[in-house]
A and B are shown apart, each in its own frame.
Chain A
Amino acid sequence: MAGWTRHSGRALSLAIDNIDTDQLIPARFMATPRAQGYGQYLLHDMRHDADGRPDPDFVLNRPEAEGASILIARRNFGSGSSREAAVYALVDAGFRCVIAPSFGDIFAGNAVNNGLLPACVSEAMLEALIAAAPLDAMIDLEAGRISTDSIGVPFELKATWRLKLINGWDDIDLTASHHAEIAEYAEARRADRPWLWPPAG
Chain B
Amino acid sequence: MTQPSTLFDKLWADHVILERPDGTALLWVDRHFVHEGSHHAFAKLKDRGLALAQPDLTTGVADHYVPVRSGVTPMREIAHMLDTLQSNAETHRFRLFGQGDRRQGIVHVAGPEQGLTLPGTLVVCGDSHTATHGALGAYGFGIGATEVAHVLATQTIWQHRPCSMRLQIDGTLGPGVGAKDMALNWIARLGSDAGHGHAIEYAGSAVRGLSMEGRMTLCNLSIEGGARTGMVAPDETTFAWLKGRPYAPSGDDWTEALDRWSALRSDADAVFDREERLDADDIAPVVTWGTSPEDALPITATLPDPGRVAEPSRAKRIMVALDYMGLTPGRPIAGTPVDQVFIGSCTNARIEDLRAAASVLAGRTAKVPGLVSPGSQAVKVQAEQEGLDRIFEAAGLEWASAGCSMCVGMNGDRVAPGQRCASTTNRNFRGRQGPRARTHLMSPAMVAAAAVTGTLADVRPLLQGRAA
**A and B co-occur in one complex:** yes
Are B95 and A200 in touch, CB under 8 angstroms?
A: yes
Indicate whether A102 sits within 8 Å of B18 (C-beta atoms), given known contacts A80-B223, A182-B26. no
Are A160 and B430 in touch, CB under 8 angstroms?
A: no
Chain A: CB-nearest residue to B157: A171
Indicate whether A195 sits within 8 Å of B256 (C-beta atoms), given known contacts A85-B40, A172-B146, A172-B150. yes
Q: How large is the interface on A (under 10, 10 to 19, 20 to 34, 35 or more residues)?
A: 35 or more
How far, in whole Å, are A22 and B77 apart by their CA atoms in the complex?
20
Indicate whether A82 sits within 8 Å of B126 (C-beta atoms), given known contacts A27-B409, A196-B30. yes
Asked if B22 is at the interface (CB within 8 A of a chain A CB), the reply is yes
Interface residues of A in 64-79 (CB under 8 A from B): 74-76, 79
How far, in whole Å, are A171 and B313 apart by their CA atoms in the complex?
37
How far, in whole Å, are A105 and B141 apart by their CA atoms in the complex?
10
Are A105 and B196 in touch, CB under 8 angstroms?
A: yes
How far, in whole Å, are A15 and B316 apart by their CA atoms in the complex?
11
Asked if A2 is at the interface (CB within 8 A of a chain B CB), the reply is no
User: Whole-angstrom distance from the CB of A170 to the nearest CB of chain B?
Assistant: 5
Interface residues of A in 164-201 (CB under 8 A from B): 170-172, 174-175, 178-179, 181-182, 185-186, 189, 193-201
Are A158 and B24 in touch, CB under 8 angstroms?
A: yes
How far, in whole Å, are A45 and B429 apart by their CA atoms in the complex?
12
Are B144 and A87 in touch, CB under 8 angstroms?
A: yes
How far, in whole Å, are A33 and B141 apart by their CA atoms in the complex?
25
Are A170 and B223 in touch, CB under 8 angstroms?
A: no
Are A80 and B149 in touch, CB under 8 angstroms?
A: no
- Most interface-central of B145, B317, B410 (chain A CB within 10 A): B145
How far, in whole Å, are A170 and B196 apart by their CA atoms in the complex?
22
Asked if B427 is at the interface (CB within 8 A of a chain A CB), the reply is yes
Are A170 and B146 in touch, CB under 8 angstroms?
A: yes
Chain B residues closer than 8 Å to A198, beta-carbon distance: 56-57, 116, 247
Are B95 and A201 in touch, CB under 8 angstroms?
A: yes
User: Whole-angstrom distance from the CB of B68 to the nearest CB of chain A?
Assistant: 16
User: Whole-angstrom distance from the CB of B425 to the nearest CB of chain A?
Assistant: 12
Interface stretch, picked from B4-12, B269-277, B355-363, B431-439, is B431-439
User: Whole-angstrom distance from the CB of B225 to the nearest CB of chain A?
Assistant: 10
Indicate whether A114 sits within 8 Å of B146 (C-beta atoms), given known contacts A105-B197, A105-B228, A201-B95. yes
User: Whole-angstrom distance from the CB of A10 to the nearest CB of chain B?
Assistant: 23
Asked if B282 is at the interface (CB within 8 A of a chain A CB), the reply is no
Q: Within the complex, which residue of B21, B157, B196, B317 is in contact with A159, where a contact is CB–CB below 8 Å?
A: B21
Asked if A6 is at the interface (CB within 8 A of a chain B CB), the reply is no
Asked if A106 is at the interface (CB within 8 A of a chain B CB), the reply is yes
How far, in whole Å, are A181 and B27 apart by their CA atoms in the complex?
11
Chain B residues closer than 8 Å to A134, beta-carbon distance: none
Indicate whether A76 sits within 8 Å of B56 (C-beta atoms), given known contacts A27-B409, A174-B158. no
User: Whole-angstrom distance from the CB of B26 to the nearest CB of chain A?
Assistant: 6
Are B116 and A106 in touch, CB under 8 angstroms?
A: no
Are A172 and B149 in touch, CB under 8 angstroms?
A: yes
Asked if B466 is at the interface (CB within 8 A of a chain A CB), the reply is no
Asked if A113 is at the interface (CB within 8 A of a chain B CB), the reply is yes
Asked if B193 is at the interface (CB within 8 A of a chain A CB), the reply is yes
Q: Within the complex, which residue of A109, A158, A185 is in contact with B22, where a contact is CB–CB below 8 Å?
A: A158
Beyond A104-B196, A181-B17, 8 additional pairs, beta carbon < 8 A: A27-B432, A76-B192, A82-B143, A172-B50, A172-B149, A175-B26, A196-B121, A200-B55
The 9 closest A-B pairs by CB, nearest first: A110-B144, A113-B146, A84-B144, A159-B22, A195-B253, A84-B145, A195-B249, A76-B193, A82-B142
Q: Which residues on B are within 8 Å of A, measured CB to CB? A: 17-18, 20-24, 26, 28, 30, 37, 39-40, 43, 48, 50, 54-57, 65, 77-78, 80-81, 95, 116, 118, 121, 126-128, 141-147, 149-150, 153-158, 160, 192-193, 196-197, 223-224, 226, 228, 247, 249, 253, 256-257, 260, 291-292, 294, 313, 317, 320, 408-410, 417, 427, 429-432, 435-436
